[in-house]
Structure 1
Amino acid sequence: MINHTVLFKFKEEATQEQIQAMVDALQALGGKIDEIKEIQVKENFSERAKGFTIMLYSLFESKEALEAYQVHPAHVVVVTDHVKPILGDIMAIDIEF
Structure 2
Amino acid sequence: MVKHVILWTLKDELSPEEKAQVKKGIKEGLEGLKCRVPGIVDIKVNINGLASSNADLMLDSLFENKEALDAYAVHPAHVAVADEKVRPYTKIRSCLDFEI
- In the superposition, the TM-score normalised over structure 1's length comes to 0.90
Counterpart for residue 30 of structure 1: 34
Task: Give 3-state SS (helix, strand or coil) of 1:21's partner.
Answer: helix
| Structure 1: 4+ residue segments shifted above 4 A | none
Higher mean alpha-carbon deviation, 5-14 vs 65-74, is at 5-14
For residues 12-40 of structure 1, the C-alpha deviation after alignment (integer angstroms, 9 at most, x for no partner) is 23312122111111111112112111001
Q: 1:72 deviation in Å?
A: 0.3
Task: Give 3-state SS (helix, strand or coil) of 1:37's partner.
Answer: strand
Counterpart for residue 79 of structure 1: 82
Shift in alpha-carbon separation, 1:23–1:13, aligned structure 2, 3 A: farther
What letter corresponds to residue 28 of structure 2 in structure 1? D
Counterpart for residue 21 of structure 1: 25
Task: Give 3-state SS (helix, strand or coil) of 2:34's partner.
Answer: helix
Counterpart for residue 70 of structure 1: 73
Aligned-residue RMSD, C-alpha = 1.3
Counterpart for residue 2 of structure 2: 2
Name the count of aligned residue pairs.
Answer: 96
Structure 1, unaligned runs of 5 or more = none
The share of aligned pairs that are identical, in percent, is: 35
Q: 1:69 deviation in Å?
A: 0.4
Check conservation: 1:36, 1:59, Cα contact below 8 A: yes
Structure 2, unaligned runs of 5 or more = none
Q: Distance in 2 between matches of 1:84 and 1:33?
A: 20
